[in-house]
Structure 1
């Protein structure tokens, strides 16, 4: 503790000008017509028939201080995003009822073959400048964006010669300030520029304690999917860049993120019948610690004025290794190794991705109102999932290859009152699955491998109307695609004589997204309304086994929703009020009779939700209070025990600018609400091991300074 306060004293020496500059930059970002890099164009977001949100560094940093991660921050701020599981896994977390694609600088973090569902935890938030969210199914970034894209843009290069940087020191505690619930973070970022050359390096360390619920009980520990509580994270970030000219730049970015469990607790089952949630007790988790390691290197060359257009070339390497907590799970049992009911095991998912992207965009000479973009993407992924303790193959080492040329056009008519946009991406995808044998619990079936492939043109098109500056309406159609978690499908094969080339369940999921939206920005008012519908003839639905492990069913899916948002600057200086509402419904065909006969359950769709927030900023003081109402829901065609009761949560933060930086106090779950998480309340009505309550009131005190 003395060390932490000494570090505070050191950071106070540095001037607070950089922090104040960040606040000014954030305000400017909100005022300007933002270019969203994840949209693969240099045109402003207002020219695109898309629903887009940009979470700037100021907003993101404040929300991360409240909730702890980028995933939790996005979920708290955007009503269309489902409640998080409050675990490291993202299974069942959706945007508009479908899985989002997480990316860093446009580099996909999702593993398409065996989705480890940890793609939201691959970089420390301290190194993120902003988060771009594109809603709805689209193929702009390739595979995986059936719900949208969550693109994390890393901090930019320093603007001026010399040294600059910033530091963060924070501590957090549960409501009772007990030692087991204490956590903290120490991070620093330094940058240097000399002429056309610049370099940036940063490190962040975070320790998380045990989570306490609204009654000061330790939150249950997920002994299968692993945890975010009771973990340590060590992250490194680096960037080296050279400005080759006034418009051209070459840079290399590297990131390493390692999260590891501390093995201080073991799960204790609860009782749903008696209303007793799962919890933990002191003890050492058997097996290897749960660990998530993500390493990424990317190199890019860009020129904003190459032959009158904008050129971008990017190559990347991405490697992830995720070790899951284990257990004596039914799926892992094999009487040939140990008596059934005694075999402990755990799995590790390892994925390596190589990829490249190239694109060129420019206005057509002689027809400057028409902007064309052409490009080509390549992705090569190799993934396998092993059982650590017994060295068994659960998902065989499988290769995925995607080659995809694409083209987009945007035509401005009547001096920008009308814009027509559209394009196509041609996906050529191939898999290489070797021969393998399934686990004993699937019948130890020998499966003949193969090289299934498909090629598909994915279309998008839309129109934007802006009759008055600040009033925009749009309509669009876009296709997105993914593959229904190949690993879950492969490891669940239980019938004899299966040949992969003939196995229907490996066909892609094509989602069709139709959307209508209106946005108004007039004076102190910013408002929007969006209606969307997304359907798949051969969708994917997560189906939960008794031991908490999911398999995938291929069945039709139809999702529709309405989103409303309103922000108003009040007459009182510095005060702004905002509200957002999301309504979403989803139906599926459970018996293949061609009729949508049941609602999607809580593992596949989010509840209706209302957000309300108040922001105040004047002089040296800024503050925010926010509330989230997750509304109750009944699921037709699903077990009554999985109906959602609903709950509400309130958060608050206040910050003060000092000479040496900024100090901020944040409170998560201000009312200390005791609630069962959405995922636990809507899944596994007889599963007492995964009957989890949510995190109770949690305090975070942080100090941020710049130089």
Structure 2
């Protein structure tokens, strides 16, 4: 029988056989086998976890939903969420630092806000029970259709670890340098300006893990990590050529994927290229026999800093030749408007780069107490508290739009402006929880719990960068002598005249979301919002035999909205510059999720398997408009349901095989009570993965694996007209990988071929961002066939 695994993502160490929900543990050896240079953890887990949407080559995991919902990522039990959530948690840790990954699928009341789709707990490596040991690993990846050295990905890792009588230690330094990415035809893939691609970027990840066994009852662990990934490319993103259809603006701002083919633009000049930085320190203290309990405490602090790629966005401005308007000699309002229309020479825009900063202090305390009841029954109680203090902000760095256009979209000249992109927020969260597990007999185990969570979110006063840019432009425009002459001749103040012209043009060109007159920037006052929720969970496990169980579970989760991101859209374009509390007029309610899970799992002599049926529902729908960038929370129900299966088999002959299957469907209800399908950004396409491998007397092994994603259509219910553009379809694909390992006394060698058949396809992320508009620059193909060679040695 396969070894029974344990998980700690439920706060305490538990036997898998006693857990009433879908659980998966992926050991570090399996992670390492998939972790060739250039691959991130999101891509690896997307291959191995049935219900998790597939990963991609971008720096984001925003579209990697689990059962249609967001997943809460933990590192050594520390939640990586922040008030300003930018979804890079699965791409900002090196796979080389991972001991194992534990996945709980479905909403969980154990960890509170953010865990509506499940929990992914990443356990980092630590020193083993042995003398000092060193490991060196080197690797390189290249595209088989374009072997230019500019496309190489190079990787190096150095580890030292060990332990003494009372201490253990591990230091791991990982460095990866990625070059150009090439598609299946060997053509360089353009830079992605939306969520940022990982081509031409450098990554440094340093992990220090120290453990001290103070005595037989007490232990202390300190973990520190520094992660930094920064793009270092000479190629600018391609937003498309200026188009007369869009008043001379780059076509990619409004076009949909496929309208043009983005190509790399050499000559990029950008001082602050996209990057992700995470610095953290965590203290874990445990004590056995603490007044009859096991005491677990954790204190963690981390800082995050992220830069995006500069992006042309709202507001837009009309370039009007006022001298030409005067020359036309208009004497009536219709003549004036006609003269203005005839002298519009195109449009200009704004160019902002987002910078996100957050600081998070996290404290946890848990007490565990086992009780022996009569007739062999046992009761285990776990209770405690959580406290999180989070400061988050997002800023916009302004660049000269006209200089950018004149340079062919390659030169980003900072104007010196650094503005708010939504209000800064401070969140203080306190939670109390109680979990109980009752073993009635050898067959029946009951588990239930309750969690009360209270969050105070304080929103700062803010002046929107969009408002400031808008005001600065029109204040400058009002100084035009020809405009002043027209105003004087008409007897109308220049500001009122310009307001009338701009608002008329906004309606004429259907640019209400991008073009509006305002010569002053409003100060919007902040405020305080309080969220509190009581969450319940209850489940039962029935052991059919010693090797297999069936389970039924109900659990609740909830999500506190990302207020900085949500309120970023409160600008002159949305409210006409009306000053007032920024929290008014926008739905900022938390969303509650209810989740059911029915499953079976079995562990036999050479086979392990599990299946599950799931259903979850929530009371709100979050919509991201890819064209305007506006996030809206709608008061309409959502529901997801589906089936997952996993099978692994190992035979004495050395043969191994496995298969995963996942199908999810999701719908939301419109105002008329009709349900319509959600898009591929929320509903992961049907996914089948599998592998077949063979071990050659422990001297070598080989593994052939595949990933199949089915087409995803809009479903049998039509979306309302105002939401059809958000229902995103997906065109499926199939890829194969071959991984071979050779084990020698001089070290271990790996040769791996990704995308073995050199298939041409587009990832879920790239298809979603390029549909239906506002993201054509991100409609980029995936990498073609790549070859990886790596070497690892212990000494």
Does the TM-score normalized on the shorter chain lie above 0.5?
A: yes
The residue number in structure 2 matching 1:424 is 450
Q: Partners of 1:140 and 1:274 in 2: how far apart?
A: 44
Do residues 166 (structure 1) and 135 (structure 2) align?
A: yes
Report whether the alignment pairs 1:401 with 2:428: yes
Deviation (angstroms), 1:282: 2.3
**1:516 Cα deviation after fit:** 0.4
What 5-or-longer segments of structure 2 have no aligned partner? 241-254, 320-345, 399-416, 468-513
Return the alpha-carbon distance in structure 2 between the equivalents of residues 522 and 274 of structure 1: 50
CA distance in 2, matches of 1:156, 1:72: 24
Relative to structure 1, the CA distance from residue 34 to residue 331 in structure 2 (aligned partners, 3 Å threshold; closer, same or farther) is farther
1:244-323 equivalence runs, <5 A: 244-268=214-238, 277-323=261-307
Match of 2:151 in 1: 181
1:224–1:325 Cα contact (<8 Å) kept: yes
Cα deviation digits, residues 495-541 of structure 1 (max 9, x gap): 34553565562211111111100112233332221110111112323
Structure number having the greater strand percentage = 1
Compared CA separation, residues 550 and 216, structure 1 to 2 (3 A): farther
**Which residue of structure 2 lines up, in the alignment, with residue 568 of structure 1?**
649
Corresponding residue for residue 78 of structure 1: 49
CA deviation vs aligned residue, 1:608-651 (integer Å, no higher than 9, x gap) = 11111112224211221111110012113345994322110111
Whether the aligned pair in 2 keeps the contact of 1:542 and 1:604 (CA below 8 Å) is: no
Structure 1 ranges of 4+ moved more than 6 A? 270-275, 332-335
Displacement, 1:279?
3.1
Structure 1, 637-646 or 358-367: larger mean CA deviation: 637-646
How do residues 172-251 of structure 1 correspond to structure 2 at under 5 angstroms? Answer: 172-175=141-144, 176-251=146-221
How much has 1:209 moved relative to structure 2? 1.1
Structure 1 residue 204 displacement after superposition: 1.1
Q: Distance in 1 between matches of 2:259 and 2:625?
A: 24
- Residue 608 (1) aligns with residue 686 (2): yes
Match of 2:604 among 501, 512, 522: 522
How far apart in 1 are the matches of 2:256 and 2:625?
Answer: 20
Shift of 1:454: 2.0
Q: CA RMSD in A?
A: 2.4
> Given the alignment, which residue of 752, 776, 780 partners 1:666?
752
> Could you tell me which residue of structure 2 aligns to residue 469 of structure 1?
546
Alignment of 1:305-454 (within 5 A): 305-330=289-314, 341-366=348-373, 369-389=378-398, 390-414=417-441, 416-438=442-464, 439-440=466-467, 446-454=523-531
* Other structure's SS at 1:395 match: coil
Change in CA separation of 1:273 and 1:284 when aligned onto 2, cut-off 3 Å: closer
Match of 2:70 in 1: 99
* 2:701 corresponding residue in structure 1: 622
Q: Per the alignment, in what secondary structure is the counterpart of residue 451 of structure 1?
A: strand
Partner residue, 1:13: none
Decide whether aligned partners of structure 1 residues 640 and 331 sit closer, same or farther in structure 2, where only a CA change above 3 A counts.
Answer: closer
Distance in 1, Cα, partners of 2:288 & 2:547: 27
Instruction: Give a deviation string over 1:97-117, Cα, whole Å, max 9, x none.
Output: 111111110111222x22122
Distance (whole Å) between structure 2 residues aligned to residue 350 and residue 213 of structure 1: 34
Of 480, 488, 491, 2:557 maps to 480
| 2:569 is equivalent to residue 492 of structure 1 | yes
Whether the aligned pair in 2 keeps the contact of 1:66 and 1:667 (CA below 8 Å) is no
Q: Distance in 1 between matches of 2:430 and 2:458?
A: 15
Q: C-alpha deviations, 1:173-213, integer Å up to 9, x for none?
A: 11222112101111111124332123322211100111111
TM-score by length of structure 1 reads 0.90
- TM (normalized to structure 2)? 0.80
After TM superposition, give the deviation of residue 275 of structure 1 in Å.
7.3
State the Cα deviation string for residues 678-707 of structure 1 (Å, max 9, x = none).
233345234431211111111111111112
Cα distance change, pair 550–623 in 1 and its aligned pair in 2 (3 A): farther
Does 2:668 correspond to 1:588? yes
Q: Which residue of 2 aligns with 1:653?
A: 739
Name the structure 2 match of 1:675.
Answer: 761
Question: Aligned partners of 1:158 and 1:342: how far apart in 2?
Answer: 57
Secondary structure of the residue aligned to 2:14 is coil
* Stretch deviating more after TM superposition (672-681 or 427-436): 672-681
Structure 1 residues 59-104: Cα deviation after superposition (integer angstroms, max 9, x where no partner): 0011111761111100111231112242002222211111111111
Q: Distance in 2 between matches of 1:692 and 1:274?
A: 9
